[in-house]
Amino acid sequence: MNNLIDETHDPARRSWLASANIEDGDFPIQNLPLCVFEVDGQDARGGIGIGDQVLDLKALALSGLLHGEALDACRAAAQTTLNALMASPPSASFALRKSVSALLSTDSAVEQQVRNCLVAMDAVHFQLPAKIGGYTDFLCSKHHTERNLRLRGSHDGVPPAFFSLPVAYNGRVSSIRPSGQNPTRPWGQFRDANGQVIYAPSRALDFELEMGAFVRHGNQLGEPIRISDADSHIFGLALFNDWSAKDIQWWEQILGPFLGKSFFTNLSPWIVTMEALAPFRVAHSGPDKDDPPPPPHLVNAEDMAHGMFDIDMTASIRTEDMVRSGSPRKLLTATNLRNLHWTFAQMLAHHTSNGCNLETGDFFGSGTVSGSEISSAACMTELTSAGKQAIQVSETEERTWLQDGDEITFHAKARNKGFIPIGFGECRGIVMPAIRY
């Protein structure tokens, strides 16, 4: 497990780049998240976020400033996806982080040469950071599960299986898009207000505030990854929006979610690495007092002690009216990753526990990160009691479900006393009107 704190996390370390040192910014020198970007029509390449700039890893690889394993890692990350870096031994991304941190720090003797490798963040187009072969979405919040069951009329409580395994379904990779690209309201089958099943544009469009993990190296088909090894297979975390058409999902979900989810998923371009997250590891609270314990093959002392992360997460809305009137975004929810019942290591161990093989670049999500309080409910379904209770989003507007033109933006920040907080960038998308037949 990577809980090594070193000089790259030193809260006293500052960058010669002023924008990296602003208080509570997302991208201080202690973060160094990875992305893939395009600029000026050139080939996509890997980058590292610092302040309001992106460090171009292709330019850095050619600069002569890196050597040895850090140079190899930089070359691997300079490609059109980060898969080659993810497939490298963990020591590679570690070496790259150490070298880049030194180059960007106030102690650097080569500031001007590094400046030549920077590109303004607002001038680049972000791509997906990896070629994702498989995407799985879990359901790890007990609070989300409880509220959803209640809203759908079930009084049986959370099913026993929820406590014995992290529940999941296989998602759709082809419709994952980077932040800033927009979902189109999907058509689908659902029950209308009279109970008739119709095929129409969804009337219950929702967001789901989630955190996902990228797989570093996978496993051979047939060979489960043990819980004690699971954490070492995770490369880093990224914020994402599992856009969902709840009416379509509720009608179709006998086997599992399908068209209610597969129309669009927004992924933040930034992967915050496990190395960067080391100071923000916390103990996993595990099951509540009266909940059944997980089975032994999903329990590990190290994971219980350090397998969770203290990460604040928010979702906000901006409607078209709010854009016109210049109003700021309205906060919809504020939650924390610690609300999850399962750790990412437990999700990964369970995923492979039947021998299913994960591959480098695979992505798996936490499920909606709802907490026990309604202020930390992380989707519209919970916030509006499945569309029955409108919430006020501005002085003049309320919402039950999302309307066309609504922009949803997620942010997240890892915090721990004595360390510089690090952010996840934004995950943003605007609901586009349904296509017209």
Q: Least CB distance from residue 244 to Ca ion, whole Å?
A: 6
Counting other chains too, the contacts that 96-101 makes at CB distance below 8 Å and 24 or more residues apart are 96/66, 96/70, 97/8, 97/32, 97/273, 97/275, 97/276, 98/6, 98/7, 98/8, 98/70, 99/66, 99/70, 99/74, 100/32, 100/48, 100/55, 100/60, 100/70, 101/7, 101/8, 101/13, 101/29, 101/32
Q: Least CB distance from residue 389 to Ca ion, whole Å?
A: 22
Cβ nearer to Ca ion, comparing 72 with 137: 137
Q: Enumerate residues 226-255 that contact Ca ion by CB under 5 A.
A: 242
Relative to beta strand 135-139, strand 363-365 is parallel
CB-based contact 202:247 (threshold 8 Å): yes
**Does 137 help bind Ca ion (rule: CB under 5 A)?**
yes
DSSP string, 230-272: HGGGEEEEEEEE--EEHHHHHHHTTS---TTTTT-EEE-SPBE
Cβ nearer to Ca ion, comparing 242 with 275: 242
Instruction: Pick the binder of Ca ion from 26, 208, 231, 426 (CB under 5 A).
Output: 208
Q: Least CB distance from residue 346 to Ca ion, whole Å?
A: 17
Identified catalytic residue from 9, 67, 143, 144: 144
Q: Is 144 tagged catalytic?
A: yes
CB-based contact 427:267 (threshold 8 Å): yes
Cβ nearer to Ca ion, comparing 137 with 407: 137
Using alpha carbons, select from 176, 179, 178, 198 the residue that is nearest to residue 187: 198
Stretch that binds Ca ion, among 121-129, 131-139, 172-180, 383-391 (CB under 5 A): 131-139
Cβ nearer to Ca ion, comparing 51 with 257: 257
Question: Looking at beta carbons, which residue is closest to Ca ion?
Answer: 242
Stretch that binds Ca ion, among 162-170, 208-216, 289-297, 333-341 (CB under 5 A): 208-216
Per-residue contact flags (x/-) with Ca ion for residues 168 to 207, judged by CB under 5 A: ----------------------------------------
Cβ nearer to Ca ion, comparing 35 with 383: 383
User: Where do contacts with Ca ion occur on this chain (CB under 5 A)?
Assistant: 137, 208, 242
Residues classed as catalytic = 144
